[in-house]
Structure 1
Amino acid sequence: MPLVHIELLEGRKPEQLKQLVQDVTAAITKNTGAPAEHVHIVLNEMQTDHYAVGGVLKSDQ
């Protein structure tokens, strides 16, 4: 059972997230042979004021 965790910043539309999980599932099934119904994906959307790069919050950029 492949289990994929994806961390990303908030702000994507539901349609974009739906397409993301479909594409990731397709890539995993293609490359591992695992059936799609066994692929689990967890999306963790972070608030931009809870993520920083180089000491700068993404919300401040």
Structure 2
Amino acid sequence: MPYINLQITKGATREQKAQIVKEFTETLVTVLGKKPEHTHIVIQEIDEENWGFASVLTDEYRKSQG
């Protein structure tokens, strides 16, 4: 039973999430021969203020790039 836990910053549309689920599932079927009905994908959306990289929080990083 494949299980994917994807964490992204908030902002993806429902359509984008549906595409992610579809394409991740297709990849597991194609590459590993897994059954789609056994594949579980969880998308967790994280507030930008709760995600950091390059020594700063994501919301601050994006402000500095805009």
Give the TM interval when normalised to the shorter protein.
over 0.9
Give the TM-score of the pair, scaled to structure 1.
0.92
> What root-mean-square deviation, in Å, do the aligned CA atoms of Structure 1 and Structure 2 show?
0.8
1:33 is matched with which residue? Answer: 33
Q: How much has 1:53 moved relative to structure 2? A: 0.9
Q: How much has 1:43 moved relative to structure 2? A: 0.8
Deviations 1:21-42 (A, max 9, x none): 0000000011111110000011
Moved over 4 A (4+): none
**Whole-Å separation in 2 of the counterparts to 1:39 and 1:54:** 33
Give the TM-score of the pair, scaled to structure 2.
0.86
Total equivalences in the alignment: 61
**Whole-Å separation in 1 of the counterparts to 2:32 and 2:17:** 22
Structure number with bigger Rg:
2
SS of corresponding position for 1:7: strand
Aligned sequence identity (%): 28
Q: Which of the pair is proportionally richer in helix?
A: 2
Structure 2: gaps of 5 or more residues: none
**Whole-Å separation in 2 of the counterparts to 1:34 and 1:52:** 34
**Whole-Å separation in 1 of the counterparts to 2:8 and 2:14:** 13
**Whole-Å separation in 2 of the counterparts to 1:54 and 1:25:** 31
1:13-52 correspondence runs (5 A):
13-52=13-52
